[in-house]
Structure 1
Amino acid sequence: YFEVSVVCSCQQSQTHSTTPILKSEVTHRRSLEMPNSWKSNVLGVIIRAWMFNSGFHDSLSDRVEISTPLNSWKRVIEGVYLHQRSQSPYEGDVFHETPTGLVFYSYLLKLDFNLLRAIFIFCDVLTALVLTEATRIFFQDIVEDQQKKLKAYHKDAKQITLKKEEVAKVPQYVTAAYLLNPYIVCSCVAMTTTVFANLILSLTLLAMAKKSRVLSTCCLALSSHQSFYPVMLVVPIAIATAKEKQLIKSVFLTISSYAFFTALLLWFSYHSTGSWRFIESTYGCILKVPDLTPNIGLFWYFFTEMFDHFYLFFTYVFQLNPFIYVIPLAIRFDENVPLLSFTLCAIMAIFKSYPSIGDVGFYLALLPLWNHLVPFFRHSFIVGCIFLVTSVLSPILWYLWIYTGSANANFFFATTLAFATAQIFLLTDVLFAQAKYDYHLKHGIDLKINGKEGMLVLE
């Protein structure tokens, strides 16, 4: 946690010396062949359709890494069943979706099962296309911003500045990274509601990229109405839609617009159920964490071991943790809204109370947007290995714990803790790389101190 907070407050002037970046590394990333987006779309659809028809749905829908108390499709079916029989699905501890989602899923469950599966696949493809367009606009804005500041950059930094021809290439990587991501594929085949949550979140990013305050706050209200944590994206929306020297006004307008749409959704929810009981079953479940079913997050193990008289205090601590980074990050990266949005999406996926691999896959799909920072990464190999190892070990240790009894909760939690650590290392790597990249733009690449090569130090 400390590394992230340090990056939030670090300034570019912190660096006193630098290590030259190999020119071959910088030029190599530009020569990589980009995949055609339509090939990624077709292949992604084929993989999902094959897995659906091969019976993977039943096994994946029970995986704790994929399905949580908040996104499980089996819980949705039970909630809709109770609702159709005039019983409140919020009386027990089974259904935790919003009444808005309840109405939507009621219509979906009337469809043929094959058509329902096609809708999940379609939503995944649509999410990929929306993310592709959002990253194209974001990347184009970054390139145009660099073009405007060329005179302020060091003459030696031209080789690492972004080129206009890259605008059409980078989004294709995003398409492939989303549709071919195993985390996203498994989430889709398991038919979790994370598929719809990712679609709404991607629409929020697209509206933010287009600098549409009304549309972005509307989508954000829908997103936070379902999972609460996206509310922190109010900050990058306010920054993205702010005109010159009118940030305070933009913050006020953004919060007001978001509050209006949120109130509208709450009114609709109350009108459709006839009571406010849904708040305790939705937001209450997210914030109070009453269901300690194991998942890939950090909450369940700590609160299982927690004494009751400490429970409330640490609930506040754990829930405040992801939000304390928002303002420092916004101050440090106020001129880089795409990076700020990516960082907050990653923080949500790491520190939310009921995360799933579908949340992780969403922000991982945005990594190609930072392709130009790869030469500045330090821990990419280690992070990749931890991701691979934990993804393999997690189902194995779960089986040893639950089915054979030869392991215990400590083994499974060790994999989730390592998985979260890898995500934190990845996030800090991206942020540190951006700080180094900004430094090299202003001071050049091949800097020497007293005729000797220096080492870049962040203090």
Structure 2
Amino acid sequence: MLSMNFDIAFPSLVAGRLALAYLNLPDTLQHDHQLSTPLTSYPRLQEGLYLFHNGVDPYSGGLFRHSPLLLSLFSTVLPLNRHTAALLWTASDALAAWALVQIWRARQQLTAKTPRDSLIAAAYLLNPYILLPTLARSTATFENALLLLAVMFACRGKAAATLLTLAVATHLSLTSALYLLPLVLLLLTTPVSHLASPRPYPYALQDIVKRAGPFMVEYTVYMLVLAGAATLASGGWGWVGKTWGAVLTLPDLTPNVGLWWYFFTEMFDHFRPFFLMVFSIHLAIYPLPLSIKFQHDPLYALYALTGVLATFKPYPSLADAGLFVSMAALFPETYAHMRTPFPTALVHLHCSLLLPLFHHLWLGAGTGNANFYYASTLVWGVAMGLGVADAVWAGLVAGIKGAAKKGDAAGACAWDGWEVAQE
């Protein structure tokens, strides 16, 4: 039924999400370390708002790490309570799902509704990695929605809207800045799929720099304007170290599904700056090679980058992985070339049991220790790594096969070599 009538399926899915938001689930889930992090936690957002309303600088302590943009929004225009929170978080997910459908239509060059629209929306709204963080009122929900909106605007060639939306997303989460390169390349090309017909980027390097330069400058201007607004809202520059600085210095080692927190818990203090630099540089390495390798399809490069950041960013949650999983619905042409979809799904299922179990044994029942939970996050890292590697592999093989079909000699040679390797 979902694949038949988008006008019925989409409102039904949103209504179902809204009904769940009014249950007692948010109060139960909002303290779960898998669903939110120190940078996206709803209880910490409430505490910051309470301090702000009472004339105390929320950034003077070590708990509030949300952007001043959220602080100013929820303290003036949209006060948070049970009803407004349920509506806002559900509307944010609905907007993200709608944007995902628009990206699909732009990629397929469609102007009318298709049966697959409902499946694309359902891939987002029924994704448990998206649903549970939304019910926990994690602000990662807003980050996902803003990123998908930025991609949608880029697919439509609207540069100003793309860069402004990405700038807002960057203020909420500094790692969103890493999406700038593939988004700019998407603005310069087209979202239409070229995985099966790869071709070099149509411009020389000098032309790329010349055309992309104004976009970079515009993005920088938006960032500076928003930084100024954030400084006025918070009454000083203290927010920079508490929000953006937290991504680079990892001051809060609250457990999460990432790979950083336990490593730096066990790290000697005199080694800490070096490994912080290594981990941060490692994260920043990926945008350029992915954009070069998938220069014929920047949207696919951005998709692969979402998986990389969901795996290696400092403070990840299930919402980051949910974005990567849901975006896979945009690329059905790669499904036939995936090598390990079934093992990857099984490892994810395994993690869905291990993560809450070991989390409860350690922090709930007190019968385990940090090693229990960290072991489960390592398995989670393996699951995400398998998914990212499979996505990159499928994209590359689709390109090799497409080049071989077009009669390209290099592509045919690569395809023959791949078939031999498979045998």
When the two structures are superposed, what TM-score results if normalisation uses the length of structure 1? 0.82
Alignment partner of 1:286 is 2:250: no
State how 1:197-212 maps to structure 2 within 5 Å: 197-212=143-158
Which amino acid in structure 2 is aligned with residue 281 of structure 1?
A: K
CA contact (8 A) 1:213 1:237 kept: no
State how 1:189-204 maps to structure 2 within 5 Å: 189-204=135-150
Query: Gaps spanning 5+ residues in structure 1: where?
Result: 1-31, 141-163
After the TM superposition, which of the residue ranges 375-384 and 99-108 deviates more from structure 2?
99-108
1:101 alignment partner in structure 2: 70
CA contact (8 A) 2:2 2:122 kept: no
> C-alpha root-mean-square deviation of aligned residues, in Å?
2.6
1:126 alignment partner in structure 2: 95
- Give, in angstroms, the shift of residue 166 of structure 1: 11
- Give, in angstroms, the shift of residue 43 of structure 1: 4.0
Q: Decide which structure has the larger Cα Rg and report it.
A: 1
Q: Distance in 2 between matches of 1:293 and 1:453?
A: 47
Alignment partner of 1:347 is 2:308: yes
- Give, in angstroms, the shift of residue 49 of structure 1: 3.2
Which amino acid in structure 2 is aligned with residue 227 of structure 1?
A: S
Cα separation, partners in 2 of 1:453 and 1:281, compared to 1, 3 Å? closer
By relative contact order (CA 8 Å, sep 6+), the higher-ranking structure is 1
Residue from 12, 35, 38 that aligns with 1:69: 38
- CA shift digits 1:272-315 (9 cap, x unpaired): 22311111111111110010000001111100111111111111
CA contact (8 A) 2:21 2:90 kept: no
Task: Percent identity, please.
Answer: 29
2:374 alignment partner in structure 1: 413
CA contact (8 A) 1:67 1:356 kept: yes
- CA shift digits 1:323-362 (9 cap, x unpaired): 1111111111111011011111222211111111111111
CA contact (8 A) 1:89 1:95 kept: yes
SS in structure 2 of the partner of residue 298 of structure 1: coil
- Give, in angstroms, the shift of residue 108 of structure 1: 6.2
CA contact (8 A) 1:286 1:354 kept: yes
Residue from 233, 251, 265 that aligns with 1:272: 233
Which amino acid in structure 1 is aligned with residue 23 of structure 2?
A: S
2:176 alignment partner in structure 1: 230
Cα separation, partners in 2 of 1:273 and 1:49, compared to 1, 3 Å? closer
- Give, in angstroms, the shift of residue 229 of structure 1: 0.8
Alignment partner of 1:90 is 2:59: yes
Q: Distance in 2 between matches of 1:190 and 1:261?
A: 30
SS in structure 2 of the partner of residue 355 of structure 1: coil
Alignment partner of 1:216 is 2:185: no
Q: Distance in 1 between matches of 2:417 and 2:231?
A: 65
Cα separation, partners in 2 of 1:108 and 1:394, compared to 1, 3 Å? farther
After the TM superposition, which of the residue ranges 36-45 and 277-286 deviates more from structure 2?
36-45
CA contact (8 A) 2:34 2:317 kept: yes
Which amino acid in structure 2 is aligned with residue 442 of structure 1?
A: A
Cα separation, partners in 2 of 1:108 and 1:61, compared to 1, 3 Å? farther
CA contact (8 A) 2:103 2:155 kept: yes
1:240 alignment partner in structure 2: 186
1:183 alignment partner in structure 2: 129
- Give, in angstroms, the shift of residue 33 of structure 1: 8.8
Which contiguous aligned blocks of 4+ residues in structure 1 show a shift greater than 4 angstroms?
164-167
Cα separation, partners in 2 of 1:254 and 1:109, compared to 1, 3 Å? closer
Q: Distance in 2 between matches of 1:113 and 1:33?
A: 30
Query: Gaps spanning 5+ residues in structure 2: where?
Result: 190-201
CA contact (8 A) 2:51 2:58 kept: yes
- Give, in angstroms, the shift of residue 35 of structure 1: 5.2
Q: Distance in 1 between matches of 2:244 and 2:80?
A: 29
When the two structures are superposed, what TM-score results if normalisation uses the length of structure 2? 0.88
- Give, in angstroms, the shift of residue 255 of structure 1: 1.0
Cα separation, partners in 2 of 1:209 and 1:416, compared to 1, 3 Å? same
Q: Distance in 2 between matches of 1:208 and 1:138?
A: 11
- CA shift digits 1:215-252 (9 cap, x unpaired): 11111111111101111121112212237533111221
Alignment size in residue pairs:
401
Q: Distance in 2 between matches of 1:227 and 1:111?
A: 21
Cα separation, partners in 2 of 1:302 and 1:112, compared to 1, 3 Å? closer
- Give, in angstroms, the shift of residue 94 of structure 1: 1.3
- CA shift digits 1:79-121 (9 cap, x unpaired): 1111111110000011111111110121366355223312221
CA contact (8 A) 1:37 1:176 kept: no
Cα separation, partners in 2 of 1:227 and 1:453, compared to 1, 3 Å? closer
Which amino acid in structure 1 is aligned with residue 246 of structure 2?
A: C
Residue from 260, 268, 273 that aligns with 1:307: 268
Q: Distance in 1 between matches of 2:269 and 2:412?
A: 58
1:384 alignment partner in structure 2: 345
